[in-house]
Amino acid sequence: MLWVKAFHILFVTSWFAGLFYLPRIFVNLAEETHPQALQRLLGMAQRLYRFMTPLAVLAIALGLWLFMGYGLGRGQGWMHAKLGVVILLVAYHLYCGRLLKAFERGIQRHGSRYYRWFNEIPVILLLAVLILVVVRP
């Protein structure tokens, strides 16, 4: 089970790296006006999203394996809260995909300021997960 835990941490960390960087690319896409630069940024965002989606699936699958194998937190409030935060992270990930599709169609839904604030959401969610797992309030 320690191998599962180690790989779970690896995939969660990698997924979060994508969740931190993709909205930053959105900021640049919202500010960029040069067509070649827009295409380059869009390509970066598409590749990153395609890369981070399997990482998310693996992180969640291994997390469920740990949950089923260890029974960690079963029936405890901190685990229910953590699973709620994971659901929010999945929703955030999927919303990033919707925003990416809008950029692909040339639709500018928001300005760069919105994406700068949007970029802070995974930091807050990561902090919540860490507190719930380590402190177990």
CA distance 66 to 1: 7
Residue 80 among known ligand-binding residues: no
Contacts of 19 (CB under 8 A, 6+ apart): 52, 89, 92, 93, 96, 122
Residue 82 among known ligand-binding residues: yes
For the beta carbon of residue 107, count every other beta carbon within 10 angstroms.
Answer: 9
Annotated binding-site residues read 8, 82
Annotated binding-site residues for heme read 8, 82
